[in-house]
Structures are given as structure tokens and as C-alpha cells.
Structure 1
Amino acid sequence: MLFKTRNFDDAPVVLEARNLTVSLPDTKGDPKVLKSIDVTIRASETVCLVGESGSGKSVTSLAIMGLLPEALKVASGTIHLQGRDLLPLSQAQMRELRAARVAMIFQEPMTALNPVLRVGDQIMEVMELHTSLPAAERRKRALAIMEQVHLPDVPRIFASYPHQLSGGQRQRIMIAMALVLEPVLLIADEPTTALDVTTQKQILALIDELQQDHGTAVLFITHDMGVVAEIADTVYVMKHGEIVESGAVETLLRAPQAEYTRALLAAVPSLSPRAARAGADDAVLRVEKLNKVYGGGGLLKKLPTAHAAKDVTFTLSRGQTLGIVGESGSGKSTVARCIMRLIDPTSGRILLDDTDIATLSRGGLRPHRQKLQVVFQDPMRSLNPRWTIADSLIEGPLNYGTSRKDALAEAARLMQVVGLPTDALARYPHQFSGGQRQRIAIARAVMMRPDVLVADEAVSALDVSVQAQVLDLLDQLQRDLGIAIVFITHDLRVAAQICDEVLVMQRGAVVEHGPAAQVLAAPAHAYTRALIDAAPGRSWDFHNFREMRDPSHAEPA
């Protein structure tokens, strides 16, 4: 049975928000960011708050935590935690409640953890601030909660700094910090979005296990409907600051009433792979026995070596998409960076139109750079915040001899192709949403008329409807221009929808490679099967909603 079927009618109410309205007073147009929302969470219940970016999910959580930015104000309504009204409390009173009664897990633990403190000390610091326990007892409890969140080699990790841990381990530390004082309410804001499917599955199982052990109420914020199907008891769907639909998870997913809910479900990629398309006869990219080895040097002693890529071999034809999938640390991004020559391979050949670019000098690479373009995961970090969009788009062509007039004309044309108005060329990156910035990053790459486009987790940070739009855009550009795409992802649903072939990597090695329909529908390797089994909500068929996909349902410019 996929869905939870627990009854909470007799469970005590932990959180109750009524008629909650949050406004941004100094703004043009409608100042209301949240509009009279009602949310109830009971003991041991998992409530999922879902919706697109900008729907008000995170603002709701920050209002509950008393952490709203100064510009936002609670205009009306109440928030009760176990019957106590939180809104009249002072900041000092709210600080006493945080961690002790209500705790929060954020999306990116690296920004939430102190980089210069050992993680064990950070867990102990929570107890030092909120309890009078002696140091020995704080250490004992910290080690115990680290065991409960299933961290390996607890004494070593206790003494480690955040940068020495994997993403999944850092998220477990955040969970340990949140639960060490056994709060009655845990708020989890997109805690698994950046994690690969197996780590995500472990974190979701861990939250459920700890919830059952401690009776904690959980408010889980996500845009991933697969996660919702997996963990939710009750779902609230938000759009533009309003709750458009709510109900038990099974009822809401089987028979959604709101058109917006149906659109969200329709945007979820299916795990059923698309039919492979026939590529052109000529191979545009051939990678032969690519190796990347780190370490082995050292001034005083030889350091251990790490094989980030081991004999990776594949061929990519024009107009085809190769997906490279695997967990974090599997070597996916290493291969992508070697192909782009952002890092130098240790050995092997990278043939771009029969030219081996693996060993070319920086000067020798320059004529080939325009044939090989990349789209990264976070366009905010890859677009210059001080440049207008026009400046970012025309930089490459100008470097290769295109006149400014022609480059600007092509930029205007491509902005329309990616679904943005031409007057957006005069704006700056911060004036766009995440999905719009990713469209701009794609337009910038296509400006160079590349033969090969490398997309490194290009849609993993986007909500499902925007993700669907970007995938459709890549597919359209590929059909129009014949671009070959190397698509790096940890999301097998995305791989199934866009890839003709799939290459599965584990610990730097290729463990399976073949047509997407074969690899994803009938995997031969145990590791591939484990990845597919870990996909959240995999037994729930979102495909029923696919025919409701509306290409016109796009972000406002």
C-alpha cells in the first residue's frame, strides 16, 4: 500500500493556524503574500505543504517559526502551538521555543551549519542554549541522537567539520540537531531536494522512523509529488499565497478537485521511459576509456588515490540525449567536467568531431569551445549579477567575431524561443525566477550554436511544473537544431522523459549502459534496480495526468 491510512481524529492538535495573512506593505499591487490560510497539524501526523516556487510555502513556515524577514508582517490571524498563541510572543520568548518545542530543517545544510565548528559541538550547542545539562550529559545525548539518525562511525563524525561530510550526512546532522530536544513540531523545508534518490529515500525513512518514536508532528514543505505520495498523511496545496485544496493524501492524489492540483500532478515526469529516437549516423562526441584519478601525490607521504572516473566509454550522435545517472559521488559530474575540459582527465580520449580535445592546450581548445556548451544546476551562480541579460547572452558570440548588432538580434530571437519577452534583455538575473534564469542560461548556451550541450543537474532545483517546461524547451531546441545533449541527473523520472540512452555510474565506473527503455524498464544491474526502487512514489502512476499537461501554463515573465 503506497499511501498512509492513519486516522488522526482523536490525536491532540499540535499546530493550528487560522486566517493567517502575511503582507508586504511597501509593494505595488496586492501586498498580501499569504491570504487567510488555515492549517492544522496533529501529533504524529505528517502534513505536506506543496506548490510551485513563490506559492507561499516557505513564508508559512517562517511565520510559524517567527523568522519572517523585516519587510513581511503578519497582518491578521493566529498561530497556536499546543494552544499557546505564538504571534504576541517576544523574540526572546520565541527563541526559547525554537529547538525546544518547534524545530526546522532547511534545504541546504551547508548554509545552515557553522563551517568552523565541529558538528558534534553544534549539536551540543543546542542543548547548552536550551537546557542546564552538564557537558558530559550533553555529549552523551549528542552521540545518542547521532546513532538514532544512523550515522556511521559516530565518534569520527562527531569530531568532523561540515565540509568533511557528504550531503546526506550533513542533512542527518541537521535532523539530529532538530530532534535532540524532542520538539513537538518539526518543520522540514525541502530537505531532500538536492539529494540523490537513495539518500533521499533514507532521509524520508529516517524522518518517519523518528516521528513514530517521538510522536512528533511534521510539516513537510516540498514541490515533489512523489515525496508527497510517499510520506504524507494530509496535503495542503498552495498557489499565490492561498490554499486551493487540502485533504487526505490518497483522496487528493486520486481525485484532485482543483485545476491547479491536477496541473501539478500532470507535470510530474513518469518513470516510464520514452521511445528512443534514431540519431544521425555521424557521432558528434566519442569518449573512450576516460579516467580521472585524484590524489596519489603528497609532499611528505603518498596520499591515497580516488578514481572519480574509470574507463568511461560512450558515443553520442547528433540529435540524441545521453543521460548519466547515479548517486552523489558516482562520478557523473566528474565526467561532465572532463568533457567540458573544466578539469583535465588523467587518461583517455574525448573526440569532438574526430578531434581529441582531451590533451589540447588552452589555446588549442579555443576554436572548439563554441561547439561544446554547458548549463549548470544553479544559473544564479553562473550568470554575472552585474550584467544585463543581453550582456550575458552576447558575450560568447562577440568573443568569436560576431558583430554586436547580429549578436543582439540573435539574443532577442532566442529569448522568444525560450518563452521570455525581448524587453527582458535589459533586466538583471535577480529580477527573474529560478525557472526563468535557467531558460536564460539555456539561451546563452544555444547562442553559440553548439554541437553538444552538457546539462549538469540543470532541472534538479526547479519545481515540477517549471521543470516540465524546461525539459520541453530542451526537447524542442534539440529537434530544431540537432544538438546532442549529455544530461547529468540523479532524478530517474527526468532521465526517463528526456534521454534516449542511459549510462549508470557507481563509484566512478559504468555499471550499465543502453537504451533508456531497456535500462529503466528492465535493468540488468542490481545498482540500477536499487536506484529505480528508491524513486519516491514510484508505485504511484502520475502518468494518468500527463494528458492534462498544458504548454501554455508557464511562468509569468
Structure 2
Amino acid sequence: MEFKSQDFSSATQVLTIRGLRVGLSGRPNATPVLDGIDLDIRAGETHCLVGESGSGKSVTSLAVMGLLPPDALELQGGSIDLEGFEISKATPTQLRELRARRIAMIFQEPMTALNPVLRVGEQIMEVLSMHSDLSQSEAKKRTLDMMEQVHLPDVARIFSAFPHQLSGGQRQRIMIAMALILDPDLLIADEPTTALDVTTQLQILKLIAEMQERHGTAVLFITHDMGVVAEIADTVSVMQKGRIVERAPIRELLTAPQEPYTRKLLTAVPNLAPRPARDAADRQDLVNVRGLDMTYGGGGFFRKTEGVKAARDVNFTIAPGRTLGIVGESGSGKSTVARCIMRLIDPTAGEVTIAGTEIAQLSRRQLQPHRKHFQIVFQDPYRSLNPRWTVARSLCEGPINFGTPRAEAMAKAAELMELVDLPRDALDRYPHQFSGGQRQRIAIARAVAMKPDLLVADEAVSALDVSVQAQVLDLLDDIQEKFGVAMLFITHDLRVAAQICDDVLVMQKGVVVEHGPAQAVLSNPTDTYTRNLIEAAPGRHWDFANYRALDSASAFKGATA
């Protein structure tokens, strides 16, 4: 594998952080959130800051930007020097001048960072109007030029579009254009590709590298994805509980990690080697989907419109105790299929048979008694769990609704907490009192409480750290082995699919382009689209658990070397 190997020792020092301490506002004796952070970034260098949620990565970036929430966090010591300017002592006016002109930031979720009621072109121009003396026509010309530089198509049309009219990748490109419009010295990218599919992620990473090379920008890249780190980093700092526990050039960190925590992070990264498929002999199919179609829109009073075909002629089966993964880019139809099977939306055509009952044509009233047979775990457990309900109430709601006595449901809830490796006494807590990984375990426990025949996991681990992700995947495996449930696993991460799926179905623009055993699809793909997805997987040339690079042939064949 080729590593970035540029020597930055003679490059200009852009950012120098020494002894940075951040603590809880008004609580000087509390354990600090950041405890003595030292960091150096030079011009043209990409410095990756990695670690699990809660390690302090994003707090570090907010401190550098001067964006610490004053009622929650405060600087308690240390220095943040940007080419001779001390940020920690800057006034609000100086900080406003600093942002965009000398430091810019790309946030994880552009839909929340962009103003939903302003056209995206106007939002980029706003940066120029606040920090430059350009006329309206000059600012628009500069904005269109920057939009072309970030490879947006049909820039005149997109200039006038609202954020909701763009794809996730296009919105992230708008954020990059906004961040780089004034040629800042330092670009901070906080998990900018976490929610993107692999091909869009690859495009964004290449774009950031291209813009960095063109403008000589220093980049502080925050991520928990070691695959991304392997692709883009020059230097890596590993954070744990508010401290940097290891710092090294990328080659040294991946081939000879020194700290146990670093080795733990690397070992937890899934690779593209498919697990051995479980025996399917003598198992009658539990789920049978035939000719599933889903069209959004269409109709019209005066003129008929065709509508958007989100899924066309989808066919598959799942046996008890086996997992089928559906993979593809955003907009490929993965989640549409899952929602049709769950009857969260009604399919336009086709048959969906679960546990011997054809459910696609049932009315909502007819469907109600059958819902306990199929349950779903969503991507964001914080949004799927009622914030006003205790965990006990969330776990008991379904069984009680289907006739289980309250005392029995509570006893079962306590057992489920142990099953997902959480303490029984946590039943009286609320969702906000748990970490993201713990909330996902609760969401899984709630789904399992109904003793379903089919469990649908829709991007259930995509927002989790690699170590927490590995724990949740192991938990799903244990549950499947213990209860024999069939699982439909929706993901855009082929490495995750390789670790948990027996069979893989690849979708592109609503159509199934490849379907077969995971070993065959991921090791020897026959469709060009599948091959492109595998080629785009970050870190696919790396065997993280064994700290070694793979040759390109073995990496493509499922990393079996």
C-alpha cells in the first residue's frame, strides 16, 4: 500500500496547541474534558485526530474555532496559536474575523449546518459579503467558480437550489466550497464523511486532498474511521478520555502501534474478508419477497406522471438464523425495501411473506396482529426511543400491547438488559443518560422483546465508533444464534456487511444488480457496480488487525490474504 510520505519538517507551522485544558463551566474541580492537549499542524499537512465518542476530538476542534458553548464548557488553561495569533485570548470580534478567513470548519451533518430557507449560492456569497469588499457580481462569479472547483454539476442550477433539493454528497460539497472560498490557512473537518456512502465518501476525500494541494491548506481531520485515516493522513494523534495517548506518522502508527488503546481501535476495524456462511440446509425460508415494486409520486389530475421508481422487481428469501445484507449507495433503494417489508410504507406491487403470512396486501387493521413477527432497529436510537419514557417503559410497551401482563413484561425487560450487556438497575433511566452504543443496545433489546421471526437493521451501526460497532455486531450475532431469527441488514459499509452477512444483495437505482453468498459477491463480484463499491471502500488495502498492508489483488478478493 502507498502511504503519504511527504516531509513537513520545513513547512510553515500553522497551528500550535500546548497544554490545552477544557473543563465544565463553573466546575473547576471536575475531571477536565481536555487534559493537556499538545498538537502541531504544518502547511499542507493532514493531521488526523482519532478516538471513540467522548474522547475529546470535537471539543478540541470547537476550542480551536472559539466555539465552545459558554454555558457548558470553558478554557481552563493552555495555548492555541495560529501563526502567531493566540486564539484563546481573542475577543468575540477577533474570532469572527478569524473564522472563514483564516480558519474554516466542515461539520458532520451539512443539513443542520446549512440554512434550510436560503439558497445554497446565497449562503456561500454571505461568507464573501461578511469578510471581503467584493461587489455582488464579483462575489457571485467567485462563488460559481468555487462551486466548479468542488466539482458540482450544473452550477447555475445548484446555485439557486435549496439544501433539501441536493443529495448528501452535494450538500457536503457546498460546505467545502463555503469553507475554502476565502483560502483559509487551516481547515477543520469534523467527521465530514461519516454519513456518506463509500463512493460519495471517496469523492469527498479526494476533493479535500485536491483542494488542499491547490491551496496549501493545513487540515485537521477528525474521524473514528481508521479506513479513512489510512487513506488520507500524514500524521495521526489518538485521543482517549481527553488526552492524546499516541502520536505518529501514518506508516508508523499502522505498522507498529505502541499503545494498547491504539491497537484496540485497529483490531476493531472490520475488513472485507467475508465470514464463513452458516449452514442453510433443511431450513425453510422464513421471508419470501417476490416482485417487490415501490414507486413514489406519479398520478396527477390533469396529466399523468410516471413517478420515481425506488424499487423494481426485487426478489429474495431469508432462512431462519441467516442474515441477508442489502448494500448500495444512497438512493439505491435499500431503505425503501426495508420499509416496504416492515409496512412502514405500502409497496406498489409484489408479495412479502413472513412466517407464512402474506403481508403486502393486508390492511393496517389486518396487519396489527402480525407486527410482532417483524421488528426494526433504526440508525439513530436517540430518535427512535421516546426521550420522555424510561427504558423499562420502552421495553415493556410492545409486549403489554400484545397481552403480556405488566409484571411479566417487567421481568422480561430485566432479562433483556442482561442479554444486551446492560445493568438491570438501568431500567429506570432515560435515553439521554446512555451513550450512543448503549442506546442502540436498548433499541435492539426493544425489538427482541417481541420475539420476532425477522429483525430488520437499517444502518444500525453506521454512526457508531469502530469498537462499539464491533460490540453491537457481536450482540446481533449472539441474539441471532440464541433465538434463530432471520435478519435483513441494510448498510452502505461493505466491511460491516462482510462481518455479519451470509448473503449479499447489491442495489443500484432501485434495481438488484447482484445477489448471492457474501463470499462470492464480495470476493469475486461479477457486476461493475459491485466492483466499484469494493474499490471505493476506504482502507481496503489494509489488514488493520495484523498491522500490515495487503497487495491489491488480495485486498480486492475480500482481504483474504
Structure 2 counterpart of 1:431, which letter? Answer: Q
Q: 1:354: how far off?
A: 2.2
Contact 1:2 1:229 in 2 (8 A): no
Q: 1:30: how far off?
A: 3.8
Structure 1 counterpart of 2:319, which letter? Answer: S
* Structural mapping, 1:344-383, within 5 Å: 344-383=346-385
Superposition misfits of 4+ residues, deviation over 6 angstroms: none
Q: Is 1:7 the counterpart of 2:22 in the alignment?
A: no
Q: Is 1:76 the counterpart of 2:77 in the alignment?
A: yes
- Give SS of 1:160's match: coil
Instruction: Tell me how far apart the structure 1 counterparts of residues 233 and 2 of structure 2 sit (CA, whole Å).
Output: 10
- Give SS of 2:89's match: coil
Once the two structures are overlaid, the 10-residue window that deviates more, 368-377 or 19-28, is 19-28
Once the two structures are overlaid, the 10-residue window that deviates more, 373-382 or 291-300, is 291-300
Q: Percent identity?
A: 67
Distance of aligned partners of 1:29 and 1:432 in 2 relative to their CA distance in 1, 3 Å threshold: farther
Contact 2:340 2:347 in 1 (8 A): yes
Distance of aligned partners of 1:478 and 1:27 in 2 relative to their CA distance in 1, 3 Å threshold: farther
Q: 1:301: how far off?
A: 3.2
Once the two structures are overlaid, the 10-residue window that deviates more, 70-79 or 524-533, is 70-79
Aligned to 1:183: 184
- Give SS of 1:402's match: coil
1:262-301: CA deviation from partner (whole Å, max 9, x where unpaired): 0000100111100110135111100001000122222343
Aligned to 2:62: 62
Q: 1:513: how far off?
A: 0.3
Q: 1:242: how far off?
A: 0.3
Contact 1:2 1:540 in 2 (8 A): no
* Structural mapping, 1:331-350, within 5 Å: 331-350=333-352
Could you state the TM-score of these two structures normalised by the residue count of structure 2?
Answer: 0.96
Q: 1:515: how far off?
A: 0.4
Aligned to 1:555: none
Q: Is 1:472 the counterpart of 2:474 in the alignment?
A: yes
Once the two structures are overlaid, the 10-residue window that deviates more, 438-447 or 272-281, is 272-281
* Structural mapping, 1:469-508, within 5 Å: 469-508=471-510
* Structural mapping, 1:65-214, within 5 Å: 65-70=65-70, 71-214=72-215
Q: 1:218: how far off?
A: 0.3
Residue from 460, 463, 487 that aligns with 2:462 = 460
- Superposed CA RMSD: 1.1
Structure 1 counterpart of 2:543, which letter? Answer: D
Aligned to 2:243: 242
Q: 1:304: how far off?
A: 4.0
- Give SS of 1:275's match: coil
Aligned to 2:264: 263
Aligned to 1:252: 253
Structure 2 counterpart of 1:199, which letter? Answer: T
Aligned to 1:275: 276
Instruction: Tell me how far apart the structure 2 counterparts of residues 392 and 13 of structure 1 sit (CA, whole Å).
Output: 52
Aligned to 1:554: none
1:423-462: CA deviation from partner (whole Å, max 9, x where unpaired): 1110000111110000000000000000000000000000
Q: 1:29: how far off?
A: 7.2
Contact 2:332 2:508 in 1 (8 A): yes
Aligned to 1:440: 442
Aligned to 2:230: 229
Residue from 302, 305, 308 that aligns with 2:304 = 302
Structure 2 counterpart of 1:438, which letter? Answer: Q
Structure 2 counterpart of 1:84, which letter? Answer: F
Specify every segment of 5 or more residues in structure 2 that has no aligned partner in the other structure, as ranges.
Answer: 549-561
Could you state the TM-score of these two structures normalised by the residue count of structure 1?
Answer: 0.97
Distance of aligned partners of 1:473 and 1:27 in 2 relative to their CA distance in 1, 3 Å threshold: farther
Aligned to 1:50: 50
Aligned to 1:19: 19
Once the two structures are overlaid, the 10-residue window that deviates more, 273-282 or 331-340, is 273-282
* Structural mapping, 1:407-422, within 5 Å: 407-422=409-424
Structure 2 counterpart of 1:42, which letter? Answer: R
Q: 1:537: how far off?
A: 1.1
Specify every segment of 5 or more residues in structure 1 that has no aligned partner in the other structure, as ranges.
Answer: 547-557
Aligned to 1:399: 401
Instruction: Tell me how far apart the structure 2 counterparts of residues 86 and 316 of structure 1 sit (CA, whole Å).
Output: 57
Structure 1 counterpart of 2:52, which letter? Answer: E
Q: 1:87: how far off?
A: 1.0
Aligned to 2:555: none
Aligned to 2:290: 288
- Give SS of 2:20's match: strand
Aligned to 1:540: 542
Instruction: Tell me how far apart the structure 2 counterparts of residues 419 and 446 of structure 1 sit (CA, whole Å).
Output: 14
1:459-479: CA deviation from partner (whole Å, max 9, x where unpaired): 000010000000000000000
Aligned to 2:557: none
Instruction: Tell me how far apart the structure 1 counterparts of residues 342 and 33 of structure 2 sit (CA, whole Å).
Output: 42
Contact 2:254 2:544 in 1 (8 A): no
Instruction: Tell me how far apart the structure 1 counterparts of residues 371 and 26 of structure 2 sit (CA, whole Å).
Output: 46
- Give SS of 1:283's match: coil
